Amino acid sequence: MGDITLPDMATGHFFNSALPIEWVKRSNIPHHATRHLFNPYNDYAKVQMSRDGQEIEPTVGEALCQLWETIPWSSSSNGPLPHFQRAPRLVRAPIPSNFQHSSPQSNTGYKI
């Protein structure tokens, strides 16, 4: 990447355009490989159900990054995906004692 020109902060136009990004690694994680990850920042929903930009609890994010590191680097996201024999062990962040689940139809066992 070349030099980046920072915007003039006095004008109030901070970052109106996209920032230049250099991808260090680009790979897909198979959807089924993340089914053991649950995010407490999203009512303990599976990580695979998160929307773009969803904040992820740090220990769950670390587990996701470790999973991503097991995938070979690929210059094309359309290439073949690795085969996973079985999902890694279940990873959940600790559930706070005062947690109130927002969905009464949930199968998680947490009560409202």
Min mean pLDDT across 4-13, 41-50, 103-112 is at: 103-112
Q: Give the model's pLDDT for residue 85.
A: 47
- pLDDT digits 0-9 by tens, 25-62: 777 888 888 989 999 999 999 998 888 889 999 999 99
Q: Please report the DSSP string for 72-96 in residue order.
A: PP-S-TTSPPPPPSSPPPPB-PPPP
- The rounded mean pLDDT for the chain is 71
Q: Give the model's pLDDT for residue 19.
A: 72
Q: Give the model's pLDDT for residue 45.
A: 93
Whole-prediction pTM value? 0.48
Q: Give the model's pLDDT for residue 84.
A: 47
